[in-house]
Structure 1
Amino acid sequence: MTATRAQPGRNASPRTARAINDRLALRLLQEEGPLTAAQLKELTGMSRPSVADLVERLQDSGLIEVVGESGAARRGPNARVYGIVADRAHVAGLDVRIDSIGVEIADLLGRTLSRAELAVPADADPARTIEDGIALLLGAAGGTPLHTVACGAPGLINPVTGRLTVTGELPTWHGDLVDEVRSRLGVPVLLENEVNLAAVAEQRVRGAAEGDTFVLLWIGGGVGAALVLDGRLRRGNSGGAGEVGFLPLSHSGRIPSSTNCDDGFHGLAGSRAVCELARAHGLPVPGSDAAAAAAAVRAGTPAFRSELAARIALGAAAVCAVLDPGQVVLAGEVGSAGGQDLADRVSATLARLSPLRTDVRPTAVPTGPILRGAVITAMDSAQQALFPPSA
């Protein structure tokens, strides 16, 4: 554990100081797990009486409870161990893809309680899909009321309205599903670009340092990027930061349009292009979706992987030339399947393309990053609402 001292400020009122200390204690209990009063004293730098008051205050508020006793061998009674009341609220994450809807229900500490997924055929009726999506969410919740829902979907999230602006050939029912969830559940429903949520999961799971900067490059059915600059997710003026599929990079020499990125970086590194490249290298690849592309990468020859890495490095070089993030994380079905080998190949090519020193690494969340990011987002929002404010 790393000691973190409470610093409410010289001019803070007693009430504000208590709120700051409460927030600090709750954050430590979330990050470190259950702690004794003595451990809270050590980590916060507070006095013993102040910690005792804090513990009593948080217990009376129903935010923490005794979850056990310390096993230290010493004279006298064992010390009580306190933990967050995780069942005080449940949250949900939604992953709305082109061909599926995924749901994860979690407690206030982000621990998964249930998961469910629904396949959505290309010819599915939009109204029926919305009803099935609502039923999937409610069924996964099992009748338990939800405090907050966070949803990830492809496209631009309007920073003013909070609604989804569909780009390219994405289905229009995405935005309608989110609106229907908001209407029927009557709880906060947060909407975020799905690649941004993958970056949220990456940042939290990897334990990135405060102020860390990286770009998460999503290579899957489509391509996209999420920008975490100085520790903060950056969405851009219109919510479109990271729409790298529209970068004018292609073998054809044509350029993308505002509604179609097939002649952009998407057409160079998306799943369809990856599958075509694999077949050109003699690999038997049925289909052209993200799953087929990921399987091709796992089974691919060194020559195929090197050519794929060269394509990915073109997009990475364009991003790095503008942002100089120092770190690029390869995620998505293809990025995850390539692992460290693909990251090393991209790194080698990128070093020849760009003078900027950039660390390329595989994602730390190879499975379900969008759902995990959605749950983290919903959990953080619920804690902000339920826990005392920091000032």
Structure 2
Amino acid sequence: MPASPSTARAINDRLALSLLQQEGPLTAGQLKQLTGLSRPTVADLVERLTAAGLIAVVGEAGEQRRGPNAKVYGIVADRAHLAALDVRTEGVAVTVADLVGRVLAEASVPIDGDTGTGPAVEQAVALVERVVKEAGADRLHTVGIGAPGLIDPASGELRDSGGLPAWHRRLVAALQERLPEARVSVENETNLAALAEQRDGAARDRDTFVLLWLGHGTGAAVVLDGALRRGASGGTGEIGFLPVPGTAALPSATDCAGGFHSLAAAAAVVDLAARYGMSPAGGEGPSAVGVVRAAVDVVEAAVGRVREPSNGVVPASSAGRFLDALADRLAVGIAAVVAILDPGCVVLGGEVGRAGGEELAARVQDRIARMTPLPTEVRSTTLGGGAVLRGALLTARERAQEELFTPRDRPLPRV
């Protein structure tokens, strides 16, 4: 059954807007070529989208060309402003961007663990308001939040968790109260990082992969056949609770101590490094990122890939043994995931994954190859800790465009 004229127009409009988003500003002639539509049809959709305030002339294709096809059309970037938040146990980071994703302002603020719920929420909300002002935005259309913990798939709300600060859950409601016109949504931080890695990072060529998040805690995100999988309760990827050998006890329903978290979270990595006499280069504090980066620097200097670190006070043999021990731990959890999902690719994400780089990824891949017959490539993140903000911004932009690009009287089919 052929589409009605209104449905056909909606499909054409959506297609043109998608191309303008992906390719950037285009002439009517380029839209005709990319869409395969006739010249009159392209002229009509350009007129409709311009009248709706969604696109505008942003230049000309060439100094010597004149006429309708010489005009270059682009999405009206300031039609809406978006905010992305990365909410961590120890603070929050905020980015404000326009409708095409161009970052206008960003900032972060630490929030001490002893700060009460009310003051912590106020600090975070005040940061958002300040960054919005610095970006020159009158108001926000959409706010995307990445946070640790489980997201209820039915309500979309952050579920209560004894292991997370109380201000996390209160922040979402507070933002909605202070920004009543904004569409506020929250997603698990690791899931957002996976979306960013798939779009702009290490998994750009993969429609099936697992992201292992290595930071303050541990987490995993599962993308199968191009779709993010959340599970019946929103708990897909809670790998910190995975029972593994090498721990003193089993995890419980309320505490992941004893699970994979006890082997691979930041505190465990620092403790492991101390056994091998590792200390961060550059006078950094005893952080997981610092010790892993220091170990990688020493090992790479020893084989001539980089110059000798100025603060390399640990023998290359000790640094190598530390990275081997860390790879052993990571492989235990990854092998379990591979046995169940067969993702073909695992990305080591988060700040620690980025610090380990290809050196750590190669060691983990070598161990996985010996533990399972399923071929699995292990890659290092290209986005690191910034993947959460990037993923939150991507989802906020997509939600805003979905609403703004869809005429209220005729929903646009997906293309």
Per the TM superposition, whether the score is higher than 0.5 is: yes
Note if contact 1:275-1:292 (Cα within 8 Å) is conserved in structure 2. yes
Query: Residue 252 of structure 1: CA displacement?
Result: 3.0
Q: How does 1:1-391 map to 2 (within 5 A)?
A: 11-71=2-62, 79-142=70-133, 144-186=138-180, 187-206=182-201, 212-284=207-279, 292-300=287-295, 301-388=319-406, 389-391=411-413
SS in 1 for 2:47: helix
Distance in structure 2 (CA, Å) of the matches to 1:314 and 1:282:
23
SS in 2 for 1:150: strand
SS in 2 for 1:330: strand
Distance in structure 2 (CA, Å) of the matches to 1:131 and 1:178:
12
User: Relative to structure 1, is the Cα distance of residues 352 and 257 closer, same or farther in structure 2, using a 3 angstrom cutoff?
Assistant: same
Note if contact 2:323-2:360 (Cα within 8 Å) is conserved in structure 1. yes
Correspondence for 1:5: none
Identity of aligned residues (%): 56
Note if contact 1:221-1:290 (Cα within 8 Å) is conserved in structure 2. no
Query: Residue 366 of structure 1: CA displacement?
Result: 2.5
Query: Residue 339 of structure 1: CA displacement?
Result: 1.0
Distance in structure 2 (CA, Å) of the matches to 1:338 and 1:98:
22
Distance in structure 2 (CA, Å) of the matches to 1:239 and 1:291:
33
Distance in structure 2 (CA, Å) of the matches to 1:63 and 1:130:
35
Code of the residue aligned with 1:381 in structure 2: it is R
Correspondence for 1:7: none
Alpha-carbon RMSD across the aligned residues, in angstroms, is: 2.1
Distance in structure 1 (CA, Å) of the matches to 2:337 and 2:294:
28
Distance in structure 2 (CA, Å) of the matches to 1:211 and 1:359:
11
SS in 1 for 2:14: helix
Structure 2 runs not aligned, ≥5 long: 296-318
Per mean C-alpha deviation after superposition, the further-off stretch among 66-75 and 102-111 is 66-75
Correspondence for 1:3: none
Code of the residue aligned with 2:18 in structure 1: it is R
User: Relative to structure 1, is the Cα distance of residues 248 and 261 closer, same or farther in structure 2, using a 3 angstrom cutoff?
Assistant: same
SS in 2 for 1:379: helix
Note if contact 2:280-2:286 (Cα within 8 Å) is conserved in structure 1. no
Note if contact 2:350-2:385 (Cα within 8 Å) is conserved in structure 1. no
User: Relative to structure 1, is the Cα distance of residues 32 and 198 closer, same or farther in structure 2, using a 3 angstrom cutoff?
Assistant: same
Code of the residue aligned with 1:45 in structure 2: it is G
SS in 2 for 1:238: coil
Code of the residue aligned with 1:67 in structure 2: it is V
Structure 1 runs not aligned, ≥5 long: 1-9
Correspondence for 2:309: none
Query: Residue 167 of structure 1: CA displacement?
Result: 3.1
Query: Residue 201 of structure 1: CA displacement?
Result: 1.0
Correspondence for 2:315: none
TM-score (norm 2): 0.87
Distance in structure 2 (CA, Å) of the matches to 1:110 and 1:65:
17
How big is each residue's C-alpha offset from its partner over 1:203-246, in whole Å with a ceiling of 9 and x where there is no partner? 12149679811111101111100111111111110011000000
Note if contact 1:104-1:115 (Cα within 8 Å) is conserved in structure 2. yes
SS in 2 for 1:83: strand
TM-score (norm 1): 0.93
Query: Residue 290 of structure 1: CA displacement?
Result: 10
Distance in structure 1 (CA, Å) of the matches to 2:225 and 2:45:
32
Query: Residue 367 of structure 1: CA displacement?
Result: 4.8
Note if contact 1:290-1:334 (Cα within 8 Å) is conserved in structure 2. no
Note if contact 1:210-1:231 (Cα within 8 Å) is conserved in structure 2. no
Note if contact 1:250-1:267 (Cα within 8 Å) is conserved in structure 2. no
Distance in structure 2 (CA, Å) of the matches to 1:111 and 1:350:
39
How big is each residue's C-alpha offset from its partner over 1:240-280, in whole Å with a ceiling of 9 and x where there is no partner? 10000000014234211111112110010110111011111
Distance in structure 1 (CA, Å) of the matches to 2:292 and 2:325:
11
Per mean C-alpha deviation after superposition, the further-off stretch among 367-376 and 22-31 is 367-376
User: Relative to structure 1, is the Cα distance of residues 72 and 319 closer, same or farther in structure 2, using a 3 angstrom cutoff?
Assistant: farther
Note if contact 1:96-1:152 (Cα within 8 Å) is conserved in structure 2. yes
Distance in structure 2 (CA, Å) of the matches to 1:271 and 1:64:
47
Query: Residue 354 of structure 1: CA displacement?
Result: 1.0
Note if contact 2:243-2:258 (Cα within 8 Å) is conserved in structure 1. yes
Code of the residue aligned with 1:148 in structure 2: it is T
Aligned length: 380
How big is each residue's C-alpha offset from its partner over 1:144-198, in whole Å with a ceiling of 9 and x where there is no partner? 2000111111110111122211335211110011111112211211110011111
Distance in structure 2 (CA, Å) of the matches to 1:327 and 1:290:
33
Code of the residue aligned with 2:156 in structure 1: it is G
Note if contact 1:271-1:290 (Cα within 8 Å) is conserved in structure 2. no
Distance in structure 2 (CA, Å) of the matches to 1:14 and 1:220:
52
